[in-house]
C-alpha cells in the first residue's frame, strides 16, 4: 500500500509547485522545509491522506492566510523546545546597545 505523505515523490512535486506559487505571490522567504513541516507536524499530524488526490487537494487548497497561521503555530511549537540560552545572542546584543 502506498503512503501519500511528504516522502512520496508525487506529493513532493505538488509541494514544490505550491511553494513556487506562494513565493511568487506573497511569502518569498518561505522554504520547502517549512512547508513540509506544516504538513507533517500540523495538517497531516493525526491522519495522512489516503490517496494521492487527497494529498494534492490538501496542498493546493491551503490559502496564504492559513499558511501564515500555520507558520506562526510552528514557530510557537518550536519555541517550547528552546531554553533561555538559545536566545542568549538576542539579549546580549540588546545589553550592548
Question: What is the Rg, in whole angstroms, of the alpha carbon atoms belonging to the chain?
Answer: 16
Domain range for residue 44?
9-95
Q: How far apart are CA 55 and CA 97, in angstroms?
A: 49
Tell me the pLDDT tens digit for each residue of 69-90: 999 999 888 887 767 676 677 6
Is 27 a member of any domain? Answer: yes
Is 68 a member of any domain? Answer: yes
Output the pTM of the full model. 0.79
Cell of 90: 538576542
Number of domains in the chain: 1
Residue written as cell 528552546?
82
Q: How far apart are CA 45 and CA 47, in angstroms?
A: 6
Is 33 a member of any domain? Answer: yes
Is 3 a member of any domain? Answer: no
Mean pLDDT score, 38-48? 94
First to last CA, the chain: 59
- Residue 31: pLDDT band (50, 70, 90) is very high
Is 1 a member of any domain? Answer: no
pLDDT at 56 over 80: yes
Is 45 a member of any domain? Answer: yes
Amino acid at each position: 500500500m502506498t503512503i501519500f505523505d511528504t516522502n512520496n515523490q508525487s506529493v513532493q512535486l505538488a509541494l514544490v509547485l505550491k511553494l513556487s506559487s506562494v513565493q511568487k505571490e506573497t511569502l518569498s522567504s518561505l522554504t520547502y522545509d517549512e512547508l513540509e513541516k506544516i504538513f507533517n507536524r500540523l495538517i497531516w499530524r493525526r491522519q495522512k491522506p489516503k490517496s494521492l488526490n487527497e494529498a494534492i487537494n490538501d496542498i493546493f487548497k491551503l490559502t496564504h492566510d492559513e499558511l501564515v497561521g500555520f507558520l506562526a503555530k510552528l514557530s510557537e511549537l518550536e519555541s517550547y523546545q528552546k531554553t533561555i540560552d538559545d536566545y542568549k545572542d538576542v539579549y546580549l546584543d540588546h545589553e550592548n546597545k
